[in-house]
Amino acid sequence: MTTVRNAVGIAARAAVAARTEALFRSSGALRDGHFLLKSGRHAEQYLEKFQVLQDTAATSELCGFWAAEHRSGSGEPTADLVAGPTTGGVILAFETGRQLGLRAIFAEEVKSADGPTERVFRRGFTIATGERVVLVDDILTTGGSLLAMIPAVEALGGEIVGCHVLVDRSGGMSSLTSPRTGRVYPLAALWILDLPTYEAGPATCPRCADGTPLHAPGSTGTAA
């Protein structure tokens, strides 16, 4: 029986991954070129998430996969709120929360007084002690955005019950370790995509070496 359930689970995850890939490819979100990622690394391919997120039907379908994971057998939500990092995470948190009938909030990047940048809940957003929080984000490369959100949730007393991304392009990061408490949180991606990234420079990045113009896509520049 356990073997059958595992096989069903694997098949279901494969179907979700295939559907997620289909939505990204049909939207033209997978692009070729020379790209500067938010992490500072370079890539030969780039996922422009907003080509998918501008499609409300596609976004609703993708968030529906997450919402289904956080409903009990009776259909009640097993979380109290959904949170995401700016910018794409705002849309994803809102739609996932809407489907579950929960609040949706977001954390912004703020530069602290001593220099480092951190994620902070502002604009009157609150998390009560013990509230069950689902974290959602779009594309994971190093996990930095979600990692920066975890201390913000923990500091307010929230209990993280799920960490989700649309696409894991790290090649299969399966967990996130809180930099505040050392607690390990499982990480789940709808689609795992192994796209290599490189340190900048001709010695390490093939596109730097061949002189392909560098583009900073998304909010930091103009995609090719």
**Residue 10 belongs to a domain:** no
Structurally, the chain folds into a number of domains equal to: 1
* Span 48-59, pLDDT tens digits: 999 999 999 999
**Residue 3 belongs to a domain:** no
Residues 6 or more apart in contact with residue 83 via CB below 8 angstroms: 89, 93, 104, 105, 106, 107, 121, 127, 133, 134, 135, 136, 149, 153
SS3 26: helix
Task: Flag whether pLDDT at 61 surpasses 50.
Answer: yes
**Residue 5 belongs to a domain:** no
Cα–Cα distance, 86 to 63 (Å, whole number): 16
**Residue 176 belongs to a domain:** yes
**Residue 4 belongs to a domain:** no
User: The domain that contains 86 carries what CATH number?
Assistant: 3.40.50.2020
Cα–Cα distance, 15 to 18 (Å, whole number): 5
Domain that holds residue 101: 19-212
* Span 125-157, pLDDT tens digits: 999 999 999 999 999 988 899 999 999 999 999
Contact assessment for residue 135 and residue 158, using Cβ atoms and an 8 Å cutoff: no
Contact assessment for residue 189 and residue 165, using Cβ atoms and an 8 Å cutoff: yes
Task: Flag whether pLDDT at 221 surpasses 60.
Answer: no
* Span 180-191, pLDDT tens digits: 999 999 999 999
- Whole-prediction pTM value? 0.85
Query: Which run of H or of E encompasses 45?
Result: strand 42-47
pLDDT tier, 224 (very low <50, low <70, confident <90, very high otherwise) = very low
